[in-house]
Chains A and B, each alone.
Chain A
């Protein structure tokens, strides 16, 4: 079943065509990888889907609804969760509070919170513990997120995005720059999510990591989708090899 459909999406920055007539589909319950050299337009596609930047033209259809033009928070609440390429934790908040923020939007109701009707429930606390245990970071619960190492930040961002209610999880280079051990850990988590039926859209620069993980691979170069298919198909695609070797 198709969950998200990108149709003829365009976005330029000045003279740069960052995304050029892109079309692709994402199947429910699968891992779709978006790969391509630096500057190919992958993150821009993510930002278009999230509503952080607005498309010049084209449609993004999610569950029969065109979401182009909606604000990022509305899009998020429709069922999108993501991590950014660069760290986006709330540095002055504790690790735990970074996670508590992800559950729902009850915390944006002024009177409900002021009058004390929005206590952290047992379910939320247990979920936070479970997720922290998953990445072996329970003991950092009370630390300010800004004090974590690069790899630890990536893990917290990942579990924050997992907690944030969603039907599509979008990950922008979750393993870029992390140690091989951590890369292993993150790929295990992603495979576990896939088993649980999650729909994941993954940007990854690293071919090996992606090809092991993905059901479908979409290759972008200079804003254009140059190839699309199963990992086996992509591995042997001449255009793709050229795009990577030509870097």
Chain B
């Protein structure tokens, strides 16, 4: 009983890690205030769910989810060449609202507010992942792979260019860097992993509705990115795990589920506030919040 509960939390933590480290790539490493992360996540989730419902295999669904999300990541970066950095937040937020509205209203495809039910659990190499313990293994492996790939990006010279853009984009341009292309790559890669996370979520929860694209749900992830420390993947992972588990004890001292959701928001907000006051670089970060 407790083990089953623990496994379900661990699955969500692993999906949260993928979302958080990929968000860190744009926000913390490239300095792009990307508020559209959950839109990419939802695009991935719905793509994967629809394909899975149509009978496509797991590997195809998850990759298509990532690639389609990446495509939108590229697309949303096109106008950021023209607009100032501050407006990127607005543009990506607007994108989030649009995706939410589409998921809600394109009922023929998404079933609108009723959502998509009965998404089958994946089967791979003859393994059945309908059991949560097996599914956890799958999610953990993909989370680890995602982490390692993003780590590889950030420690490479390519990641150094991303960080230079975060620190001083004009100076990066003056050194000859095509910062537009760089930002586009960062958004695309970040969206890819958000799409992958969305796919895993759809497989895990087996039921999807448009609330997965609700921009309010981004707040915990922004909190994780900041608390973990801008520019620190290790910090992000630790923060993702801690913040997923933190509100859970409330359950045991008799709080009803309906309050837990709200309590979670309060805890994140409180944590964020404390960090901003006492540790402006987050726990592991090297970049100071401006």
Give A residues with C-beta under 8 Å from B: 50, 52, 71-73, 76-77, 81-82, 84, 88-93, 97, 100-102, 105-110, 113-114, 116, 118, 120, 144, 160, 164-165
Contact = CB atoms under 8 A, between A and B. Distances in A.
Given A108-B158, A113-B157, A102 B175 contact: yes
Identify the interface centre among B161, B179, B288: most chain A CB within 10 Å of its CB.
B161
Nearest to A71: B173
Contacts of A118: 156-158
Contacts of A160: 175
A128 B38 CA distance: 42
A101 B168 contact: no
B205 interface: no
A108 B160 contact: no
Q: Secondary structure of the B side of the interface?
A: helix
A91 B172 CA distance: 12
Interface of B: 149, 152-153, 156-161, 163-164, 166-168, 170-179, 181-182, 185, 189, 231, 286-288
25 contacts: A50-B174, A52-B173, A72-B170, A72-B174, A73-B173, A76-B173, A76-B175, A81-B174, A82-B174, A84-B174, A89-B168, A90-B163, A90-B164, A92-B163, A92-B288, A97-B160, A102-B175, A107-B156, A107-B158, A107-B160, A110-B185, A113-B159, A114-B158, A118-B158, A120-B157
Given A92-B163, A93-B163, A93-B164, A113 B158 contact: yes
A57 to B, nearest CB: 23
Identify the interface centre among B172, B182, B288: most chain A CB within 10 Å of its CB.
B172
Contact of A73 (B168, B176, B287): B176
Given A101-B161, A105-B176, A107-B177, 17 more contacts: A73-B174, A73-B178, A76-B173, A76-B174, A76-B175, A84-B171, A84-B174, A90-B167, A90-B168, A92-B163, A92-B231, A92-B286, A108-B161, A108-B177, A114-B158, A116-B156, A144-B286
Nearest to B166: A92
A101 B172 contact: yes
Nearest to B281: A92
A100 B157 contact: yes
Contacts of B156: 107, 113-114, 116, 118
A143 to B, nearest CB: 12
Nearest to A164: B175
A210 B163 CA distance: 36
B171 A90 contact: yes
Contacts of B153: 113-114
A77 B175 CA distance: 8
A33 B172 CA distance: 25
Identify the interface centre among A52, A73, A93: most chain B CB within 10 Å of its CB.
A73
Given A164-B175, A164-B176, A88 B168 contact: yes
Nearest to B81: A71
Contacts of B177: 73, 101, 105, 107-108
Contacts of A73: 173-174, 176-179
A120 B182 CA distance: 20
A114 B152 contact: yes
Contacts of B149: 114
A155 to B, nearest CB: 16
Contact of B173 (A72, A90, A116): A72
B30 to A, nearest CB: 12
Nearest to B156: A113
